[in-house]
Amino acid sequence: MAPVNLSLARKRDAAKLTEGLRGIVVYLVAISCLINVLALTGSLYMMQVYDRALTSSSVQTLVALSVIALVLFLFQGGFDAIRSRILLRIGARFDRDIAPVAHRVTIDMPRFGFSTTEALERGRDVDNVRGFLASQGPGALFDLPWIPIYLGFIYLLHPWLGALTLGAAVVLTLLTLAAEIVARRVAGEARQTALGRSSIAESNARNAEVLKAMGFAGRATQRFAVANEAHLALQSRASDIVGSFGAFSKALRVILQSAVLGLGAYLTIKGELSAGAIIAASVSSARALAPVDQAIANWKPFVAARQSFARLRETVVALSKAVEPMRLPAPHSYLKVDKITVAAPGSGQVLLSEVSFDVGAGKAVGIIGPSGGGKTTLVRALTGIWPTLRGAVRLDGAELEQWPEEDLGRAVGYLPQEVSLLDATVEENISRLADYDDPSGIIAAANAAGIHDMIVRLPAGYRTPLGPQGMAISAGQRQRIGLARAVYGDPFLVVMDEPNSNLDGEGEVALTKAIEQLKARGAIVIIVAHRPSALAAVDYVGVIQAGKLTAFGPKDQIIKPAASAEAPEVQHPVVAMPKATSFEPQRVPA
């Protein structure tokens, strides 16, 4: 039943993109019908002026016709304004409902191997759809079905004129289809090159200090210029295609108007048409082809909006959940890593294989091993950042997927290897953007990280803005604020990846004290470390090499100090690894 439920959930969530729009579309179709019927006012007015007012030399008739035409024109303008305002509000509602969903995907995509540029594209997709709905494009699309009204009117004036206008409409329609076919592939390629260019720009901005210090900013700029040139070439090609079709359609409209006038004059000379009908036919033929011309002019935004809508639909479907997990009691007993295998989301390469261990409450585990062995991959699996291919990470027996995300977040504290703080205040960063006041909890977390005194010395204390990525403070300060954020709210599982990489002696003392406090209140602490000082408070040590857990046990059995008379104050850890064939991960007692 689960796949069926998920399929239904995806259909339900995808339908939310257009929820409530059916009635609005019917209303817009009705308004468009009135607009297009009233658009015949100009043709009828000119025909009546030439055939009745001028022939009768009646000023009263001219005035009456002008007043009637003025009223009808005002109604047409009013309905057109109403349609535009409705479309504008549809775009605003779409943005309000979908932008938060798109931003959620923007947050999730980088952890699945996508670049930040690709992630931010979802926000631009929302802008594309909203911008198109606020443009003249939707009006042209709503006017297209009513072209037969003008063709029928012209046909009533004379069948030849109707046939001429119909032929021009068919040619313009074929042009529109040709523009769609030709421009679709080029537009897709242009989008890809735009993403590549933006990725390079983002990478250069992120590495600005390195580029400046080591003097290769010029080469980085040249690399961007090459990508920019490729994008401009495709963008120009796409614009040339749309522009060429648009120019040809305008020329065809001018030719049609002249042809209608010429044919009308010929029919008038033959006595088959009145002088007023010539002008009416010319005005109506121009109006008949105007929606096609506008559709061609707005085809590029229309294609972009359609592609954006398709991606947003995929986004909503990707976030669909068949069943929302039931709330569980807060974990308090143990963590079980049950034969997990983890692959990199972007490439699918297996980075961690068949890892198992148990940790009871109030214990700390240090994870060591060579670079690239899979330590950070384990951290991502333990915190739910990366999914497991096989096996499961369990808290009190329940897999991570069984916990509602916010509940799991309250139970987990995470200090990543590279700490990047939010563009917010110290208070907001530590409290994880809590929507309620919790000064005691925030101060308790700051004290646990040993940074309360440092924070109160800042210009605005806990209300000090940290700026983009927390660049207003040093790397060590960022790491300690990150530690305070990790322990805020007394989480049951605290995972730290290289927590002392930017810390001085005082910071390392505070880190060890924080770990001891976490253990004392019954939390589980997982620490990935290269520097032995980070392992001072751990009870057990695991060794990860080449994606495998090759050793696990009490710290004094796994790490033995090397005998060195020359440098007794520095003890390099020597990993005692049993044979792989005889190793079985040990359960850590509570």
For residue range 231-258, what is the model confidence (pLDDT) as tens digits? 888 878 877 777 777 777 778 778 887 8
Least confident residue range of 373-377, 378-382, 561-565: 561-565
CA distances to 365, 535, 548, 562 from 576, rounded to whole Å, are 16, 16, 15, 11
Mean pLDDT of 327-331: 88
On average, the pLDDT of the chain sits at 82
pLDDT band for position 318 (50/70/90)? low
Given a cut of 80, is residue 391 above it in pLDDT?
yes
The token pair at 590 is 């509570």
User: 522 and 462 in contact (C-beta within 8 Å)?
Assistant: no
Tell me the mean pLDDT in the region 479-498.
Answer: 92
Between helix 116-133 and helix 59-108 the angle, nearest 10°, is 160
In angstroms, what CA-CA distances link 513 with 222, 332, 431, 509? 49, 21, 21, 6
Answer for the pair 76, 35: CB distance below 8 angstroms, yes or no.
yes
Spell out the residues 6+ positions from residue 464 whose beta carbon is closer than 8 angstroms to its own: 425, 426, 455, 458, 472
User: Above 90 in pLDDT, residue 170?
Assistant: no
pLDDT band for position 119 (50/70/90)? confident
Q: For residues 334 and 355, give the distance between their C-alpha atoms in angstroms, rounded to a whole number.
A: 16
pLDDT for residue 386 is more than 80 = yes
Provide the pLDDT for residue 342: 92
Q: 526-541, pLDDT tens digit by residue? A: 999 877 777 888 999 9
Q: Please answer whether residues 552 and 543 qualify as being in contact, where contact means their C-beta atoms are separated by less than 8 angstroms.
A: yes
Q: Is the dihedral of CA 379, 384, 386, 388 positive or negative?
A: positive
| Packing angle of the helix pair 275-297, 299-318 (nearest 10 deg) | 40
413-427, pLDDT tens digit by residue? 999 888 888 888 999
Give the per-residue pLDDT at 578.
36
Residue 178: the pLDDT is 77
Which of 197-211, 318-332, 419-433 holds the top average pLDDT? 419-433
The CA dihedral of 559, 561, 562, 568, to the nearest 10 degrees, is 150
Confidence of residue 34 (pLDDT cuts 50, 70, 90): very high
Amino acid at site 553: G
Separation between Cα atoms, residue 154 and residue 34, nearest integer Å:
18
Is the pLDDT at 484 greater than 50? The verdict is yes
Residue type present at position 271: G
Burial pattern 31-48, b for ≥16 Cβ within 10 A else e, equals bbbbbbebbbbbbbbbbb
- Residue 72 banded pLDDT, cuts 50, 70, 90: very high
Half-sphere exposure for 391 (CA within 13 Å, toward CB)? 21
Output the pLDDT for position 16. 64
**Token output for 272:** 């088959």
3-state secondary structure of 433: coil
Higher pLDDT, 577 or 364: 364
SS3 content of the chain, % helix, strand, coil (to 5): 65, 10, 25
Give the model's confidence band at 80: pLDDT under 50 very low, under 70 low, under 90 confident, else very high.
very high
Between the CA of residue 552 and those of 28, 228, 576, what are the distances in Å? 68, 51, 10
CA distance 140 to 577: 73
pLDDT surpasses 90 at 223: no
Under 8 Å between Cβ of 537 and 519: yes
pLDDT, greater one: 194 or 3: 194
Range picked from 57-61, 493-497, 556-560 for highest mean pLDDT: 493-497
Per-residue pLDDT, averaged over 40-52, amounts to 87
Q: Where are the domains of the chain?
A: 2-318, 334-575
**236-250, 348-362, 402-416: range with lowest mean pLDDT:** 236-250
Topology of domain 2-318, CATH: ABC transporter transmembrane region fold (1.20.1560)
Place of tokens 């015949």: 40
Please give the residue that has the higher pLDDT: either 217 or 280. 280
Which is higher by pLDDT, 375 or 181? 375
Which residues does residue 393 pair with via DSSP β-bridges, in sequence order?
337
More confident residue, 117 or 79: 79
Distance CA 22, CA 32 (A): 15
- Give mean pLDDT, residues 329-356: 89
- Work out the average pLDDT over 76-90: 91
Superfamily of domain 334-575: P-loop containing nucleotide triphosphate hydrolases (3.40.50.300)
Residue 212: band (very low, low, confident or very high) from pLDDT cuts 50, 70, 90: confident
Backbone angles phi, psi at 341, to 5 degrees: -125, 130
